[in-house]
Chains A and B, each alone.
Chain A
């Protein structure tokens, strides 16, 4: 319990740090911070609307620390300002809509690639030095070094443009009405295949090699030798003695990988024109819509912290030593 509370306090501090970066960035840039933040609006915003925005971002006639608390107050009450490109639309609503698609994509991709990668890693460690092992190593080298943007462009070129097996954009057929109809769900799955495939290609190798290396470091342990000495079958020793213990550090590497996964999905969404956070952000970057760009940092940080906390929880479940402490 104390462990989890300590983690929670730490996550709060990390979130505060992200908000602090947001607060100071426009203020340390050369030039007028208000001008920088809302320049893309031109003269379209009425004075009243502009004043409301200024208040949200802490641009008030007061000393710096009061401005800072004013900004933090908006952030912690869930007010991230309004998008300038889509004016009256609040940033939270714009990003919230997009987040649903991103979380769906990232969630499924993480589950698939973690399962696939871990399984591949177990097999590779057990059959160390065989051809299967080299294939796993090579796929890990590949996924750790080839940029997500490159993988997705190549997947798009091969399956989207050359073979024409899958669509080149959107989350579903724009002609269909969203809803829980079979047609719509099928369309979502069909449109999601390529982004999902790209993420799984980009991620599985990394999980596989982490698991493989953890397994190999354990294979020399006494209890593995004991298991073999007891005459247990290879499969039993592999799954219940080695893999079970090797899973622990793999899960903690998952916590660190979540940032990479989210970043990867941002890029992939841009390439596949998928309506998630990445694409929304891309549009915001092109329009220099700063409230949205700042809002995504907070939302991504929050997503990262929540998933880290979930990993912490699962760590407590997997490692009985932590439960007692």
Chain B
């Protein structure tokens, strides 16, 4: 896989992958990393960070560190689960619309554009409000079913240009069935776009889950970063000075989002060589514009 080899040579991707791997490992081994249960009262309320409680305790006396590393599991699961669903729907519809053309394209394109102009968060809020207290699984499913439109648009426009290439034409001449052409001639050439779409969707899902839960639409018994924010906000953590209660999930969310976005930027740079900074490109521009001043 040349894409993966190139990713390992990209500084942004390397930083992003390292942070992401670390978060994944912490989430997997969460029960081994702390002696405290994330759902039991293990100390006095709102204790500041100390040797016993690394990130302090919540108003209910839960250990913040334990909740944080257990909560990582939910954020990752919802992020990657919903991200996968969004990408699968978006890629399939996008390739079909772009390759088949005609009325199929028009129908898919019409619905895609419509979903794009209905604001996403308000729609999610209405859906979640009617569901009541949405569990992480339910949140992942409604995210997956409402947020695929962007992927369709990008995949479709790329498929439109690939459809004209010689190897697609020759496969058509050979009489290959269209599902085979879409799966084996077109899809492999969309890998970088699908990758960007997938990671972008994971970021979106992580953010959306935390936001819905922060707004009180999640299940308050879940241990997740969004519910931690919700509980801390309800406990007026900032005004009583318990910053650790609120800032811990904040920083965790920021770190996870940043690591994913770094990976995405790296894929974008590799797929679009013109956007690349540093390295070869610099040397090239310097050669081209030697003596010309700045560019």
Top 8 nearest A-B pairs by Cβ distance?
A145-B261, A145-B257, A263-B121, A300-B122, A147-B207, A259-B119, A150-B250, A141-B261
B7 at the interface (CB under 8 A from A): no
Residues on A with beta carbons closer than 8 Å to the beta carbon of B117: 11, 14, 259, 301, 304-305, 308
B130 at the interface (CB under 8 A from A): yes
Please measure, in the bound complex, the distance between the C-alpha atom of A305 and the C-alpha atom of B157, giving whole angstroms: 23
Using a CB–CB distance below 8 Å, which chain A residues touch chain B?
Answer: 10-11, 13-14, 17-18, 21-22, 25-26, 29, 36, 126-129, 133-134, 137, 141-142, 144-150, 153-154, 156-157, 160-161, 168, 213, 216-217, 220, 234, 256, 259, 262-263, 266-267, 270, 281-282, 285-286, 288, 290, 293-294, 296-297, 300-301, 303-305, 308
- A259 close to B293 (CB less than 8 A): no
- B243 close to A157 (CB less than 8 A): yes
Residues on A with beta carbons closer than 8 Å to the beta carbon of B116: 256, 259
Residues on A with beta carbons closer than 8 Å to the beta carbon of B216: 282, 285-286
- A156 close to B238 (CB less than 8 A): yes
Please measure, in the bound complex, the distance between the C-alpha atom of A153 and the C-alpha atom of B211, giving whole angstroms: 12
Residues on A with beta carbons closer than 8 Å to the beta carbon of B217: 285
Say which one of B21-29, B37-45, B84-92, B272-280 lies at the interface with A.
Answer: B272-280
Give the most central of A11, A150, A154: most B CB within 10 Å. A150
Using a CB–CB distance below 8 Å, which chain B residues touch chain A?
Answer: 12, 113-114, 116-123, 125-127, 129-131, 203, 206-207, 210-211, 214-217, 229, 238-239, 243, 246-247, 250, 253-254, 257-258, 260-262, 265, 272, 274-275, 277-278, 281-282, 285, 293-295
- B123 close to A21 (CB less than 8 A): yes
Give the most central of A10, A14, A149, A293: most B CB within 10 Å. A149
| Residue from A161, A293, A305 in contact with B126 in the complex, judged by beta carbons closer than 8 Å | A293
| Residue from B229, B239, B294 in contact with A149 in the complex, judged by beta carbons closer than 8 Å | B229
What is the CB-to-nearest-CB distance from A303 to chain B, in angstroms, rounded to a whole number? 8
Seed contacts A150-B253, A262-B121; 14 additional CB < 8 Å A-B pairs: A14-B117, A18-B118, A129-B281, A147-B211, A147-B253, A153-B238, A161-B243, A213-B275, A217-B274, A281-B125, A296-B125, A297-B123, A303-B119, A304-B117
Q: Is the interface of B mostly helix, strand, loop or mixed?
A: helix
Residues on A with beta carbons closer than 8 Å to the beta carbon of B260: 145
Residues on A with beta carbons closer than 8 Å to the beta carbon of B211: 147-149, 267
| Residue from A10, A25, A216 in contact with B113 in the complex, judged by beta carbons closer than 8 Å | A10
| Residue from B126, B254, B295 in contact with A146 in the complex, judged by beta carbons closer than 8 Å | B254
19 sampled A-B residue pairs with Cβ under 8 A: A25-B130, A129-B281, A141-B265, A144-B261, A145-B254, A145-B258, A146-B257, A149-B229, A150-B250, A157-B238, A157-B246, A157-B247, A216-B275, A263-B119, A290-B129, A293-B125, A301-B118, A304-B119, A305-B117
- A297 close to B215 (CB less than 8 A): no
| Chain A, Cβ-Cβ closest to B116 | A256
Residues on B with beta carbons closer than 8 Å to the beta carbon of A161: 238-239, 243
- B129 close to A288 (CB less than 8 A): yes
Please measure, in the bound complex, the distance between the C-alpha atom of A103 and the C-alpha atom of B47, giving whole angstroms: 41
What is the CB-to-nearest-CB distance from B129 to chain A, in angstroms, rounded to a whole number? 5
What is the CB-to-nearest-CB distance from B15 to chain A, in angstroms, rounded to a whole number? 11
Given known pairs A128-B277, A147-B210, the reply for A17 and B118 (CB within 8 Å) is yes
- B285 close to A129 (CB less than 8 A): yes
| Chain B, Cβ-Cβ closest to A144 | B261
- A127 close to B130 (CB less than 8 A): no
Given known pairs A134-B277, A149-B214, A157-B246, the reply for A144 and B122 (CB within 8 Å) is no
- A149 close to B127 (CB less than 8 A): no
Residues on B with beta carbons closer than 8 Å to the beta carbon of A234: 293-294
Give the most central of B260, B277, B282: most A CB within 10 Å. B277
